[in-house]
Amino acid sequence: DGGITQSPKYLFRKEGQNVTLSCEQNLNHDAMYWYRQDPGQGLRLIYYSQIVNDFQKGDIAEGYSVSREKKESFPLTVTSAQKNPTAFYLCASTPMLGSPSSGNTIYFGEGSWLTVV
Amino acid sequence: ELKVEQNPLFLSMQEGKNYTIYCNYSTTSDRLYWYRQDPGKSLESLFVLLSNGAVKQEGRLMASLDTKARLSTLHITAAVHDLSATYFCAGTVYNDMRFGAGTRLTVKP
């Protein structure tokens, strides 16, 4: 079945550590996104990518890094520079605007819970 | 940069009542989405609105889009407890997708 897979579902980070959240999609979507959601809050855009080897910063990119070496993969690294990383992280993908399937729904992964210990 | 504002942020309503959630956006948006989120879960797509005047309905929920007013609405008809969740709207500009803060809906018996 097609979809987006995020892993791990739960992750604990020690102070000063970098951690990487995985996001893989087999939908052949061009655009991929990372959002952060704090408890009881909305979604804030961290990074997005419209094409391989290219990505743009969102509203809260500081302390995070991404790569897009393959179309199907968009991993997010939470670096030690991110002082308050405890949150729910959501990955999403969509066909590129203007593509034959544009206007279709956006697919979200199941999310990853990151906690600092 | 696209900014999306929802109101109200919190909504408590009784079963059987009607209500509307509003979503305003700051610049021309290519598409307007509505999502539902249950506690601790990911987002579930409800509607995608592509053009001015678009109206979509699914069960007790109906979404509409007025691009001239930069306004989308999500209307709830005869609410039931199962509709209790947080509802988000989102807009896109050239694949840059931004969300509203969400409306936490509680439907009481």
What average pLDDT does the segment A17-38 reach? 94
Chain B residues within 8 A (CB-CB) of chain A?
A: 30-31, 33, 41-43, 45, 48, 50, 88, 90, 92, 94-102, 104
CA B92 to chain centre: 14
Of the pLDDT bands very low, low, confident and very high (cuts 50, 70, 90), residue A38 is very high
Where is mean pLDDT largest: A8-17, B24-33, B66-75?
A: B66-75
Closest CA to A35 of B23, B70, B35, B9: B35
CA B95 to chain centre: 19
According to the model, what pLDDT value does residue B94 have? Answer: 77
Of the pLDDT bands very low, low, confident and very high (cuts 50, 70, 90), residue B44 is very high
Cβ–Cβ below 8 Å for B50 and A103: yes
Residues of A in contact with B31 (CB under 8 A): 97, 103
